A = this chain, B = another copy of it.
Amino acid sequence: MSAQILDGRPVAEKIRAHLQPQIEEFRRAHGIAPTLALVRVGDAPDAVRYTHAVDRAFTQCGMGFQLDVLPSESTTESIAARLDELARARHVHGILLQHPLPPTVDARIVMTKFPVDKDVEGISPANLGNLGLDTGEYFPTSMPRAAIELLAHYEIPIAGKHAVVVSGSDILGKPLALMLLRADATVTVCDTRTRRLADLTRQADLLIVGVQQPKCITVEMVAPGAVVIDFGVSVREDRLVGDVDFDSVKETAAAISPVPGGTGPVKTMVLMRNTVHAAQRQAEQDHGRIQWLPPRRGKKTR
């Protein structure tokens, strides 16, 4: 029996349709589109390809998009300084800093300096902590949230299930583990170095993978009836390939997300929604400020 295909495009389309009137309303009210600044360090081909995908998706929906390319020899300090400028830039509502950063940069220091109010990818320490303790004061991290959206759209329950996450990363594995715990799953986090990895993945009701190792999850590693979600995106012979060996796994899994067209479009829409929410929140705060501050001379007032 062939698995249900967890097509991400209708999920992304549903989010887009919900956002579109909010984007137009924001533009009308504030004379500016909710705007994302994407900061890329260097010109690695995968990074450039991702930049273009975000640019296309955002501008098609009437969002603002700004690209800052920093030289690949950038330092921890110069990246932090650029983030600080963007934190203060009133026309920028969300900031996405593309990873990985050059090895000469201390990514941990950069992340502690990330402007929390504009962290629309949801990867700063403060955001992770608020997500982990479910305080409500965070942006859902875009990759893990995309997995949750996919499952919800196809009405696949999480509570009580054993979720196995093959990724211990800061942008996928860690925040996803916290989200799945909140959704009352039992959660195992492992990676490709894990001993007897197949013994673990075969126990998964939900198997979620993102390690950028093309087709590393083979059919022997998946239990019949499992639900498989793939965040892998690698280029092989000019085609996008996931971490899961799709053609064989789809014969045993109950459901599987394809690459491309699975998690990718949903992730981008989560990022867009977070950017719209960031813009709305910043506008509200500005509004609060304007109520008690005298109008500034030499500046336009609304």
**What is A's interface to B at a CB cutoff of 8 Å?**
108-109, 111-112, 124-130, 132-137, 160, 162, 168, 170, 173-174, 177-178, 181, 184, 186-191, 193-195, 200
Interface of A is mostly: mixed
Question: A133 is contacted by which of B170, B189, B200 (Cβ under 8 Å)?
Answer: B170
Residues of B contacting A191 in the complex (Cβ-Cβ under 8 angstroms) = 186
Closest to A182 in B: B168
A111 to chain B minimum Cβ distance, whole angstroms, is 6
Question: A108 is contacted by which of B108, B128, B133, B181 (Cβ under 8 Å)?
Answer: B133
Closest to A178 in B: B174
With A128-B132, A174-B132 known as contacts, the answer to whether A189 contacts B190 (CB < 8 A) is no
**A132 CA to B130 CA in the complex, in Å?**
11
With A187-B188, A189-B181, A189-B187 known as contacts, the answer to whether A125 contacts B136 (CB < 8 A) is no
Closest to A199 in B: B203
Closest to A125 in B: B129
With A128-B128, A190-B186 known as contacts, the answer to whether A136 contacts B108 (CB < 8 A) is yes
Cross-chain contact A133 with B160 (CB below 8 angstroms) = no
A217 to chain B minimum Cβ distance, whole angstroms, is 16
Residues of B contacting A187 in the complex (Cβ-Cβ under 8 angstroms) = 177, 188-190
**A168 CA to B163 CA in the complex, in Å?**
14
Residues of B contacting A200 in the complex (Cβ-Cβ under 8 angstroms) = 162, 186
A264 to chain B minimum Cβ distance, whole angstroms, is 24
Residues of B contacting A137 in the complex (Cβ-Cβ under 8 angstroms) = 112, 125
A115 to chain B minimum Cβ distance, whole angstroms, is 14
Residues of B contacting A174 in the complex (Cβ-Cβ under 8 angstroms) = 132-133, 178, 181
Residues of B contacting A160 in the complex (Cβ-Cβ under 8 angstroms) = 193, 195
Residues of B contacting A128 in the complex (Cβ-Cβ under 8 angstroms) = 128-129, 132-133
Cross-chain contact A124 with B129 (CB below 8 angstroms) = yes
**A174 CA to B129 CA in the complex, in Å?**
10
Residues of B contacting A190 in the complex (Cβ-Cβ under 8 angstroms) = 186-187
**A130 CA to B129 CA in the complex, in Å?**
7
Q: List 7 contacting pairs A-B, 8 Å CB cutoff, sorted by A.
A: A125-B126, A125-B135, A160-B195, A162-B195, A162-B200, A177-B189, A184-B193
A181 to chain B minimum Cβ distance, whole angstroms, is 5
Closest to A124 in B: B129
Residues of B contacting A181 in the complex (Cβ-Cβ under 8 angstroms) = 168, 173-174, 189
Residues of B contacting A108 in the complex (Cβ-Cβ under 8 angstroms) = 133-136
Please indicate which of the listed interface residues A127, A160, A181 has the most CB atoms of chain B within 10 Å of its own CB.
Answer: A181
Question: A132 is contacted by which of B129, B162, B186, B194 (Cβ under 8 Å)?
Answer: B129
A187 to chain B minimum Cβ distance, whole angstroms, is 5
A11 to chain B minimum Cβ distance, whole angstroms, is 27
